[in-house]
Structure 1
Amino acid sequence: MTTPPTTPTPEPEARAHLVTGALQAALAYTLYVTSRQGAWPATEAAVFVPLFLLMALAPLGFYLASAAPLRRRVAIALGVSAVALAIGAYHGLTVSGLAASGPTPGPFREDDYLMPTFVLGLALMIAVPAAAVAREGRVRYEAWFDALLHNTLLLAQGALLTGLFWLVMFSAAALFKLVRLPFLGELIERGEFWIPATALVFSYGVSLAVTQRALARFLFDRLTQLCGWIYPLAGALGVAFVASWLFQGIEPLLQTRRAAFLLLWFAVLSVLLVNASSRGGLDEPRYPRWLRRALSTGLLVLLPMVAVALYALGLRINQYGWTVDRLWGLFVAIVIAVFALGYALNALAEWAGRAERCLVPVTNAVAAGVAVVGILSLLSGAIDPRRVSVNDQVRRLMSDSGDEQDLIRYLAREGGVFGRRALQALASDDPVFGGVPAARQALARDALSDADTRRERQSAMLRGLPVFPAGAVAPPALLEALAREGGVGSCESSTCLIWRLPPEVLGADAYAVLSRQEKGARGNGGSRIWRADERGEWAVRGTLPGQGLDARCQSQPGAAALFDAVREGRVDAVPPPQRDLSAGGLRFPVQRWGRADGCD
């Protein structure tokens, strides 16, 4: 690990870091207090979000530029502050607040500022070291990668010191509490103490890592050795996993519905192990030549992994459309594909007689550039995942390609200002849509309204629904529970009803809201069964599927058939096709697989 030409002196470094920590603590405490009190700027996303990004990322930019002189570090921190404010302002202006909930709803959610902070922080981890080591407009790969590694250890050392500090404080507070002196525990819980204490201790831990580089070099050597031991194991397991596809195919993997995430996670881990064990391809790994060649060739399995991950992601997009998570997943897959392709070319070059790891540095540099440009594009609005996903989900909604309640709910919760505008257009029957059904307009208006208005609207709708069988009455407490739980959707007396189920099903006074539409009142093809407990509190006790079984035990759409049968009084209770076992005062339910003799 290369040591910078000059080692910073301890006292100026400590002062600079403590001043940075103090400024961060002051801004963090201000945001904390206003958020707790529901005061400005916490009430205005366009102000709070950029200030939060500034608070979190400006000090980070200063810390990550540790390879540069102090004056350049300040300049880099100011540049990071400008980027954080710009991106924060964009996100603050484009959040919707429609899904805010809780005793004191705010105009935005935690994810609205935590996600861009974390992702932009990752981009800074890559870009700031390059700015810190740049000389005459050029960045040497070795200097950049060493700065990248050093920053990782620097932040880890700061986090370790902070963790030890709080371990001591909580342990001491527990000791004082034993002798009935709770003052220390009460002090720890006060924001005016724990916020500045955390920021200052972390900043001091970073300053120690900057001035005392021997520890960082020691940690790097140990990390290299540990990764050197684990990397061959990961490579062998990756090859074995891909080889298993030759015998059982990829269908079992796709059925997990998490194939893309799992494959990309393993690929990311493999890339990290490769670079940690060889200092980004600069050092020769401590393996025999045959093992080095085998490991390099083994990286070829990253290509089929990324290909299957993209295929799995494509299946989900084709089924359910674009979402914010899927767009970010595609971005991660593209970055990993750059690594996989570069490492595959490196393996071919080695077999052709070129030097080992010859293309690893170039691959890492290209992938880093793609990652930074992609993150800035996705965060700055050039390719806003919320806008793209809202446009796609609206298209699916208008073409009846999915459940409209789920689609409306997505627009409200994940679409930001773009989703709010789409809902407003749907609610007002904008001509651009060519006519919006009344039920869909009602769903859009419901999503745009606040929680109290939605609950009142649901209550009014539920009170207007007919109750079957004839003479049955829906208890007021049940209607309140249904309105409070939500998800009943937009119903009319001609398309929905409240049904008191036969007592043989779930006991006396069990109810369900039925819809004649196949998607059901809740949009999932079924209905929930509600029943009160001994204290009179209503809760879900079971479900009615939206499909039934025909004489051949094949699933058939059944919502309309059940709805009509309930209205006409033609519903019978069918005994179970098999009996359970009883022994020793206990009942043993028998579960069978297969569809014979009763379609179990």
Structure 2
Amino acid sequence: MDNKLLKPLIISISLIQGIVLTLLYQSVEQNFWPATNPVWLTSLATLAISLPLLTFLCITQSNIKETVKYIVPFSMVLSFLGAYVGYQQEPKEYINNSTAMAVFCFTALIASFKALMYIQQYISNKKVSYSSLFKLSWRNFIIFGECWLFVGIFWGILNLGAGLFAVLEIEFFKELLKKDWFVIPVLNLAFGFAVIVFRNIIHTVDNISTILQTLIKFLLPALTIVSLGFLITLPFTGLGALWKTGSGSLLVMWLQALTLFFVNAVYQDESHQRPYNLILHRLVFIGVALLPIYSLISIYGLWLRIEQYGLTVDRCWAILVWVLLACFSFGYLAGILKKRDAWLETLSSVNIAMGIAVLAAMLLVNSPILNFQYISAQSQLSRLEEGKISYDDFDYAYFGRSLGRQGYLQLQTLKEHLKDVSPEKVAIIERMYVNHQVETDENSFSEFETLLTFWPRKEVFPEDLLNVIYEEETERRWSTYRGNTYYLVAQDLNDDGIPEYIVITENNYQTSADMWFKNNGKWESKYMTTHNPDENRYIKGYIQNSEIKTVKPKWNNLRVGNIEFKAQVN
């Protein structure tokens, strides 16, 4: 194996990849193209990561053309999907669709490993079998994990050395490790070197795989007993107890998925060789045959939740996972009914076909075909239009929090309809989508003033007070006044004939207030406790209608000496 690896090529690609990733990182840090365009940034970053990585794990001296022939098109597909995911970040000044980006990274990783083992199998000119695909997938997984472990340890050693030199007051190495132009290429070179090392000891990698499979072999009977025990007791307990957990379908699918994974790790060959004695073999046999029951239970639970609350991104994922698990389970059951003890022949063919199905699913969820954010938005809006949910109960925050661009677009359309129906909901939507980009000094204060509502009128409030309030709201770089509404009320609260100045801050999460007063010629504020039993998030109508009055406390304070007691009663 050693003489088949293209060491210089792998190291060269690692270095080039490090340079490209450094440039992409710097574009993000310094905000120049392609970082200014999420479509290009995500697409280029995907290509820069996937193409070298897949090449590292596949290429040898004898398959260069075949590797390029299949790895490049697949990486381009991932890059195009990355562009679509990047498009879901638009408009970037209002949307932070980190959920879609995280899902893309996870699903692209799964798709890459699935595609890699099929490509490796195909270019080897050997007959496609599940046992060989399984071996390739474990090899790739272990090599990938070991490489990252090596990089992590290597990075730790560099930081340790930098720390030791810093003790000696030699700051050069410490400062060097803060430079992205050094860190990223060095870690990429370390990863490429690790690939060469671990691919040269492939037999050791296979031994690790064997150890893990042996552990799974002992765990499968225990998991099967738990599975069968659950099914036996279920008729006596009913499904009610399962649904009370709030995650019954998820638990059932986890048990089903683990069983399928363990079965595939133990029964890899199409031969009639049994890894267990007859009793354990029959136990596993029965457990596999009953797996479709879990599909029926979980889909019933999912149907109940969808019927009650509609589709969400999580439920769309649950449906997709259910479909894949059900295809595996019913495929195995069909093989058992048809082949009896020779069902392993069917297991192999089902796994090969379903591996491609999983690969396709992982790609499609990042495309317009299975855009779960769009599907969820349409489902929730349909419930609103059909009267299954009112405007007051509609979860506007979910659209902004979990549905990214699709939620933004749908709420902008809904906002037009709500203008005359429910203006307070329009305010909630507008607060959800605020431009968090750093403002300029020329327009920031004037923009802040647009968020202020005065009572009884603006002229009552000192100009220097407004400046102080603005400075307090903008002094912390991690916070922003955007997304807030401010009500400035001048009201005499202590019956001394002089109005106090109260600033009420309102957003989609809370309503708070501060009382401002001058102390020794300097403006100071005192926090006011707020009692808002109805969780009202739009009090502008009350302000405009002058529904403002002072309320005497029901309970006076008690003073004993210089100690004062205040009743905290609503």
In structure 2, the partner of 1:559 is none
Task: Pick one of 152, 156, 162 that aligns with 1:167.
Answer: 156
In structure 1, the partner of 2:196 is 207
Query: Is structure 2 residue 10 aligned with structure 1 residue 23?
Result: no
Greater CA drift, 255-264 or 229-238? 255-264
Separation (CA, whole Å) in 2 of partners of 1:122 and 1:499: 62
Deviations 1:404-441, CA, capped at 9 Å, x for gaps: 68643333444444333323333444xxx998644444
In structure 2, the partner of 1:396 is 383
In structure 1, the partner of 2:33 is 40
Alignment of 1:262-411 (within 5 A): 262-279=251-268, 284=273, 286-300=275-289, 302-348=291-337, 353-355=340-342, 357-399=344-386, 401=389, 407-411=395-399
Q: Following TM superposition, by how much is the alpha carbon of 1:19 offset from its aligned partner in structure 2, in angstroms? A: 2.4
Q: Following TM superposition, by how much is the alpha carbon of 1:280 offset from its aligned partner in structure 2, in angstroms? A: 6.5
Q: Following TM superposition, by how much is the alpha carbon of 1:110 offset from its aligned partner in structure 2, in angstroms? A: 4.3
Q: 1:189 to 1:374 in 2, by over 3 A?
A: same
SS in 1 for 2:115: helix
Question: Which letter maps to 1:313?
Answer: L
In structure 2, the partner of 1:450 is 435
In structure 1, the partner of 2:145 is 156
SS in 2 for 1:95: coil
Query: Is structure 2 residue 248 aligned with structure 1 residue 259?
Result: yes
In structure 2, the partner of 1:218 is 207
Q: Following TM superposition, by how much is the alpha carbon of 1:294 offset from its aligned partner in structure 2, in angstroms? A: 0.3
Separation (CA, whole Å) in 2 of partners of 1:311 and 1:419: 28
Question: Which letter maps to 1:123?
Answer: A
**Kept after mapping to 2: 8 A contact 1:280/1:364:** no
Alignment of 1:481-560 (within 5 A): 546=534
In structure 1, the partner of 2:413 is 425
**Kept after mapping to 2: 8 A contact 1:423/1:444:** yes
Deviations 1:518-570, CA, capped at 9 Å, x for gaps: xxx959xxx767789xxx888897876559xxxxxxxxxxxxxxxxxx98999
* Structure 2 stretches lacking a partner, 5+ long: 457-464, 474-478, 494-500, 516-523, 536-546, 556-570
**Kept after mapping to 1: 8 A contact 2:253/2:298:** yes
Separation (CA, whole Å) in 2 of partners of 1:223 and 1:531: 61
Separation (CA, whole Å) in 1 of partners of 2:272 and 2:144: 23
SS in 2 for 1:21: helix
Deviations 1:193-214, CA, capped at 9 Å, x for gaps: 2211222211222222323211
Separation (CA, whole Å) in 1 of partners of 2:372 and 2:490: 40
**Kept after mapping to 2: 8 A contact 1:56/1:117:** no
In structure 1, the partner of 2:186 is 197
Q: Following TM superposition, by how much is the alpha carbon of 1:41 offset from its aligned partner in structure 2, in angstroms? A: 0.9
In structure 2, the partner of 1:4 is none
Separation (CA, whole Å) in 1 of partners of 2:105 and 2:303: 28
**Kept after mapping to 1: 8 A contact 2:96/2:404:** no
SS in 1 for 2:217: helix
Greater CA drift, 107-116 or 354-363? 107-116
Separation (CA, whole Å) in 1 of partners of 2:447 and 2:201: 64
Q: Following TM superposition, by how much is the alpha carbon of 1:33 offset from its aligned partner in structure 2, in angstroms? A: 0.8
SS in 2 for 1:293: helix
Separation (CA, whole Å) in 2 of partners of 1:543 and 1:232: 58
Deviations 1:292-334, CA, capped at 9 Å, x for gaps: 2202322345434333333333344334432333222221121
Q: Following TM superposition, by how much is the alpha carbon of 1:127 offset from its aligned partner in structure 2, in angstroms? A: 2.1
Q: Give TM-score, length-normalised by structure 2.
A: 0.74
Could you say which structure has the greater relative contact order, defined with CA pairs below 8 angstroms and 6 or more residues apart?
A: 2
**Kept after mapping to 1: 8 A contact 2:130/2:268:** no
Q: Give TM-score, length-normalised by structure 1.
A: 0.71
Question: Which letter maps to 1:425?
Answer: T
Deviations 1:157-180, CA, capped at 9 Å, x for gaps: 212322232232233334334433
Q: Following TM superposition, by how much is the alpha carbon of 1:572 offset from its aligned partner in structure 2, in angstroms? A: 9.3
Query: Is structure 2 residue 57 aligned with structure 1 residue 72?
Result: no
Q: Following TM superposition, by how much is the alpha carbon of 1:488 offset from its aligned partner in structure 2, in angstroms? A: 7.9
Alignment of 1:177-188 (within 5 A): 177-188=166-177
* Structure 1 stretches lacking a partner, 5+ long: 1-6, 101-106, 467-474, 502-508, 515-520, 548-565, 575-600
* Residue-pair matches, total: 516
Task: Pick one of 64, 70, 83 that aligns with 1:89.
Answer: 83
Identity across matched positions, percent: 21
